A and B are shown apart, each in its own frame.
Chain A
């Protein structure tokens, strides 16, 4: 965990006071909505269909048990007893009252949580690998650099009024769990030929109306140059990015229109002017931030303890372990992913009771730490393997042991038309129906890894473009229709999916997805060939034939 210093605490508390005054002036009429809107957005407050929505930042997806309990408290006291974890490692509360928001923010501030950088045309919450610091083979903990970027970008005056929002993601592993290639700037920590640690910098990724996979602008930037280099990128964007058309304002459009070579040249020129200036990061600064991260005092434990050996005879435990438990960098420990995708449930939702219970389990089994992943699941990052059977039983009691992580029912979905003022179609009921269709665990395991991503509109909060199967809700003559793509992926081999065929009505979506999955099972070269690899090998056509031949 990272421990905030006095500066952070002062900043957060001052922000609560400012917002309390702004809300008071808004409710009295002293501020109009036009004047207030930007202020509320700077504190994560949107207006949705039924109510205000409050988006709270969880920097790089790391939460302490104390913070999770406070989120549960906010859900229970100011909302309707639950929260929704998002594809950017944040949490949203859907029913909060404006008049009570300052109190909610004050309660969150007590545990170092805030809503800065969760909305508006600024640098957003920096996201990272949810396994940061514990993944085997990781170059180093990417949260150190995420935190450096968080401190650098928070309230940065030059980048608080960008042409559009701006998102960073960082990974330090070969396998990208942070979807860095669909971010405005994606950073991959790696070692160069000389054995030095630095960043591959990618730029111009993003989904939405005009999706692009990020392009590498520089293969190696030393850590000491990170801030000056990203500042050079953002200065070029701030200067040339379009402000006349919201749909063309993201950096991905600028990179596309200029071309990566020209864009890189502009950045290089800018960088040469500033790289040896105040933004040069001294090792001492990095070390200071590194020192504020604390790591558990791991015990020396066996890889295969007796408790685990005995529990392996229970098929239900084994089913969960196979899909939810992942290797840890320390022998005897494991990373445990907790599915927030129960059969028939809204993806990413957790109740206040679940959050409280999970906080207790984190204290008991994971050194008080919880992670949030962009797939809308949670994780306990430091679980002793001997404790896995006991943890599984406890998780099962609170509905957090659905054994479907990375399987077909582990669906990413945006809130869709049930909540969102931008949506054209519903997402959650589609996801719920699909989890019912694929609820048979044996069938799901037979299908293997398959990511379905659902968005209720072209803004793509559900990352449909990069789902192995992507579902996009559109509106046609007042009816909900859904475009379906296949072959997308968000990992280190990120690519955009291809349209299978014409959009289908709401009632047919689950049938179509079943047809696609059946086609895959019939067409795959072997049980080891993943869905996305079959699509890559075969192209869209065989799937199109199967799905649309009888429609």
Chain B
């Protein structure tokens, strides 16, 4: 598997976060400014330059006991500071399925 860090051209065009899945249970998590992981997108560290994105990803990948499969994902930052996923895939990861579960919790 190619490490995300070996992807030479990490280039972002807007605000981004690093997201992954928590190792022990697999839930979606986001890298926080405190070098931890949070299940809330609102807690995510926002990067706006490619260098910052590369650094945040490097730090995240190094913590593979905490979370796995880390990658950079685009987000949109609203006027009030609210963070929203930047595409449908990330929207589904953040908000959950677009369909009802066969068994309601």
**Chain A residues with a Cβ under 8 A of chain B:** 26-29, 32-34, 37, 47-52, 80-82, 96-99, 345-346, 349-353, 417-419, 426, 428-429, 432, 478, 480
Contacts and interface: CB of A to CB of B under 8 A. Distances in A.
Given A32-B64, A417-B88, A417-B92, A49 B28 contact: yes
A52 B20 CA distance: 12
Contacts of A27: 23-24, 65
A29 B92 contact: no
B27 interface: yes
A98 B65 CA distance: 12
Contacts of A97: 24-26
A98 B21 CA distance: 11
Contact of A51 (B21, B64, B89, B103): B21
Given A29-B65, A34-B1, A417-B89, A51 B26 contact: yes
Contacts of A82: 101-103
Interface string B1-41: 10000000000000000000101111110000000000000
A342 to B, nearest CB: 10
Given A346-B99, A417-B92, A33 B64 contact: yes
A99 B25 contact: yes
A161 B88 CA distance: 35
Contacts of B28: 49-50
B103 A37 contact: no
A45 to B, nearest CB: 9
Contact of A432 (B26, B68, B69, B99): B99
Given A417-B88, A418-B92, A418-B97, A51 B27 contact: yes
Contacts of B97: 50, 418-419
A82 B99 CA distance: 14
Nearest to B87: A478
Given A47-B26, A418-B97, 18 more contacts: A29-B65, A33-B23, A47-B21, A48-B26, A49-B28, A50-B26, A50-B28, A51-B21, A52-B25, A96-B26, A97-B24, A99-B24, A346-B99, A350-B102, A353-B103, A418-B92, A428-B99, A478-B88
Given A26-B23, A80-B101, A33 B68 contact: yes
A350 B101 CA distance: 11
Interface residues of B, number: 25
A50 B99 contact: no
Interface in B63-105: 64-65, 68-69, 87-89, 92-93, 96-99, 101-103, 105
B77 to A, nearest CB: 18
Contacts of A417: 88-89, 92
A50 B93 contact: yes
A81 B21 contact: no
The 4 closest A-B pairs by CB, nearest first: A81-B103, A51-B26, A97-B25, A52-B26
A98 B24 contact: yes
B98 A47 contact: no
Given A34-B1, A80-B101, A349-B102, A98 B92 contact: no
B26 A351 contact: no
A96 B24 CA distance: 10
A239 B97 CA distance: 43
B103 A418 contact: no
Contacts of B99: 346, 418, 428-429, 432
A370 to B, nearest CB: 18
In this complex, which of B87, B93, B101, B102 has the most chain A Cβ atoms within 10 angstroms of its Cβ?
A: B102
7 contacts: A49-B93, A51-B25, A51-B27, A81-B103, A97-B24, A99-B24, A418-B98
Contacts of B21: 47, 51-52
Contacts of B92: 49, 417-418
A47 B64 CA distance: 14
A52 B68 CA distance: 11
B96 A98 contact: no
Nearest to B74: A478
A516 B103 CA distance: 34
B96 A50 contact: yes
A80 B105 contact: yes
A105 to B, nearest CB: 16
Nearest to A421: B69
Contacts of B88: 417, 478, 480
A347 to B, nearest CB: 11
Contacts of A345: 102
A48 B21 CA distance: 9
Given A49-B89, A80-B103, A98 B1 contact: no
Given A27-B23, A27-B24, A426 B103 contact: no
Contacts of A49: 28, 89, 92-93
Contacts of B98: 418, 426, 429
Given A417-B92, A419-B97, A352 B103 contact: yes
A50 B68 contact: no
A353 B102 CA distance: 11
Contact of A98 (B25, B93, B101, B103): B25
Contacts of B69: 33, 47
A426 B91 CA distance: 13
A350 B103 CA distance: 9
A22 to B, nearest CB: 13
A104 to B, nearest CB: 13
B20 to A, nearest CB: 10
Contact of A37 (B1, B25, B89): B1
A432 B25 CA distance: 29
A50 B93 CA distance: 6
Contacts of A480: 88
Nearest to A46: B26
Contacts of B65: 27-29
